[in-house]
Structure 1
């Protein structure tokens, strides 16, 4: 719990810890054919790393910081329904879609070539 990193991926910022899994809407650098199970990924957009009482903050990203992980599986999220109705005009429109997501697990956090342990 004392070691974590804040990364930027998929248009959002995440607080990640080694050994936990997270859901990301899209990996910009990976195509759909590369999103297979156990594909290794490296995330270089690390904004901050905390280990025990030391905090390293990047401007905007930390140089030499890497978060290593692997993809567990791609999946579709729950369906989102959009219903538009204009009253007194008898106009109704129902749309929906399912967002593509990817679940990945963080294996380790590296800073300047050395792995950060708890």
Structure 2
């Protein structure tokens, strides 16, 4: 583990490393038709970068950091089941849905215009 970054995407904070893939809820600038496989993405909402013993923390984001990657494919999460029971009314209701996700792989993390080595 040489280095990692913490990014803010899809309403969550993710710890990302180059060469790994991640599932996120959505990318704010992407419309549904742009989330095809092979689409290159750049994430500028980088909260923290750790490389070897050096840690850079943004307030709230680092202004000179970029995480670059590409979309592998759209996917869906496991089904979330919601059960509602009203006691003494003899009513039960079972609902479920699957969250639409996008799987992307991180290609590089750059700070001050230089890519951090993998």
In the alignment, which residue of structure 1 is the partner of 2:73? 73
Structure 1 residues 57-90: Cα deviation after superposition (integer angstroms, max 9, x where no partner) = 1111001100000001101111111111112211
In the alignment, which residue of structure 1 is the partner of 2:48? 48
CA distance in 1, matches of 2:82, 2:14: 27
CA distance in 1, matches of 2:6, 2:20: 14
Gaps of 5+ in 1: none
Stretches of 4+ aligned residues off by more than 2 angstroms: none
Is 1:63 the equivalent of 2:63?
Answer: yes
Is 1:16 the equivalent of 2:16?
Answer: yes
CA distance in 2, matches of 1:45, 1:22: 16
Gaps of 5+ in 2: none
CA distance in 2, matches of 1:106, 1:92: 44
SS of residue in 1 equivalent to 2:98: strand
Deviates more, 1:41-50 or 1:25-34: 25-34
SS of residue in 1 equivalent to 2:33: helix
Shift of 1:46: 0.4
Shift of 1:7: 0.5
In the alignment, which residue of structure 2 is the partner of 1:27? 27
Q: TM-score, normalised by structure 2?
A: 0.95
Q: Do the aligned residues in 1 keep the contact of 2:2 with 2:117 (CA within 8 Å)?
A: no
CA distance in 2, matches of 1:80, 1:15: 24
